Structures are given as C-alpha cells and as structure tokens.
Amino acid sequence: MSTPAQTPQTPAKGQPKRAKRSTRESARTGGLIALAVLITLFAVFNLKTVKVSYVVGSGKAPLIIVVVISLLVGIVLAYFADRRPKKNR
C-alpha cells in the first residue's frame, strides 16, 4: 500500500490547518524577544555586589537581585492596590 505524496501546503489527515500569524502577533513576538534580550543584558551588567540596609540590619547582595526583588514587591503592591473595591477608591 502506498500513500500519495503530500505537498507542504496541505496538512496531514486529521491535523488542523495552520493559520498564518498576523502582523500584531509578529510584532508582539518581536517585542518580547527584544525585551528578553534587554533584561538579560541588564542582569549581566548589574552583577556588582552592593550593601543593602534593612530595617533591623544590613547585608550584601548582587545589584540585580535587589532590583528584581524591588520589581516583584512593586508588582505585588500594584496587584493588591488594583483589587481594592471601587467604592473605597
């Protein structure tokens, strides 16, 4: 039993057709790749150890860790601030 040759344009039996990406999706993918590259470069160039002062003491940590923790705290605070009921705003 031989099967007919399939061309690249026709999907195999039982597989859905593959939709072309829209310009918006391509731009979004390109933007995410550019953002990932910038974040990676930011991390590589901020490896210097800095002194961090806490309420009850101090310590040393890489600058990128301090920046990332600050970013995460900001995201959490913004999330909870946005979840407040609108009548209290």
Query: Which of these, 63, 71, 68, lies nearest to 47 by C-alpha position?
Result: 63
CB count in 10 Å sphere of residue 45? 10
C-alpha R_g of the chain: 25
Each residue of 39-87: pLDDT tens digit?
Answer: 888 888 888 999 999 889 999 999 888 888 888 898 899 898 888 776 6
pLDDT of residue 85: 74
Each residue of 21-30: pLDDT tens digit?
Answer: 788 888 989 9
